[in-house]
Structure 1
Amino acid sequence: MKIIELPIAFEFNGQKNDIYPSLIRSNDELTLVDTGYQGFLPIIEKEIEANGYEMNDLTNIILTHYDDDHIGSLSDFKEKYPWIRIIASEMEATYISGEEKSERLVQAEKMLETMPKQHQAFGEWFIQQLKSLQHVPIDETVGDGDWILNNQCQVIATPGHTSGHISLYIPSLDSIITGDAAVKEQHELAIANPEFCLDLEQAEHSLVKLKNMRAEHYYCYHGGRYTVVEGFFKSI
């Protein structure tokens, strides 16, 4: 087993940004965790190939949760590589597949009602971004404690940022892929965008849960890899 960070640099609203999707190699199979924004397929393909891997070996995509920066390019991946199996938690699967209106969209529409005028244009744009996401059926739904990827990876329920958010624990690598349950900020693990968490109290509990697992490496979608050294949390 191996985890490969895929650092993706881009500009958003005139500012430089980065995301860090994870690629898991297990035997001859590749699993991508989250797919970036809409239009990011060629960027992620280039990064995977730059690491010496073939896209034809991409077998699975695991989605930590429904947000436009995590599932934006999912439909493009599925269209180009139709054999890929899509994996998500049962709750997030209903939003990704379009069975239910996503709680993120419900939240955005509600926030727009009281948003200051100077921010309304962005709020309307964000709502349109969510509405433009293409729905994709989920091949496998998972829950807390489930073992996947040939029983080498355990699903960890980490709700709060969204209700069905999951993280991934790989014991053989003493590593956790956090999604947005934890981000690396100022040399610490922190909650991602607390003002947009669907349930901030749950998000706080999930962050504590991940820290208490005392993994050596935390692969954060925002901020990159974070390593614990000699019992203390320290970024690398």
Structure 2
Amino acid sequence: MNSPLIVNYCQQKVFQQDNCYCLYDSDQVKNFTPQMFEADYWQQRNAVNGTAQGRGTTYFIQHQQQQWVLRHYYRGGLIGKLIHDSYLFTGYQKTRAAQEFALLSQLAVLGLPAPKPVAYRITRSGLTYQADIISERINHAKDLVALLSEQTLAAASWRAIGHCIQRFHQQGIYHHDLNAHNILIDDQEKIWLIDFDRGEQRKPAQQWQQQNMDRLLRSFNKECLKFSQFHWQPDNWRQLMEGYLS
């Protein structure tokens, strides 16, 4: 994975103790503790204001005036059934959390609509590690699956989604899992992309960009099979591609 160039996005500080290594943005985190990566820490403070289910539980945190997302890294696919959340350690900067934090920092520098990173934790155990990350929560937003299970979207919204993806691709931003769950629309009709685990900054190229779009189209078709009512039509893809190619 290529590490993106970070251009003084935030004031990064490192905390290291025994087998625990953390990096955080000191502008956002004033009183750092490694316990902030534990759901119990926030639950005891009545600071958890929501959860989401995926491979594991994602926690939505209210911290003072800030809204955060706490996520633990889990493996997917067949190997994930055998090795749930452990990864081979080859250096802190090569861990999943460090790479995602770096990419989110670069997206902030580029002014792209994605969550800002807050902190990450690496916990080593011999030759392996586990990881957690905290990032900014996009307030008053819903993902496309939630929206399309409730309502249709206007053609202008589909074009805006396509144009948003185009902005990322023009900057060489590869999203490893571009799907309908990872595209949000907030209450101001702004489009956001989330979940950049295993993403990276690459040289723009038609092949991987097309693979991103193919994956997104498959996700819409897949969601159609899950819901008895899902407001998605093939013409919506045409509208999305109009925005992407404009």
Between Structure 1 and Structure 2, whose CA radius of gyration is higher?
2
TM-score (normalizing by structure 2):
0.29
Q: Which has the higher contact order (CA 8 A, sep 6+)?
A: 2
Choose between structure 1 and 2: higher strand proportion. 1
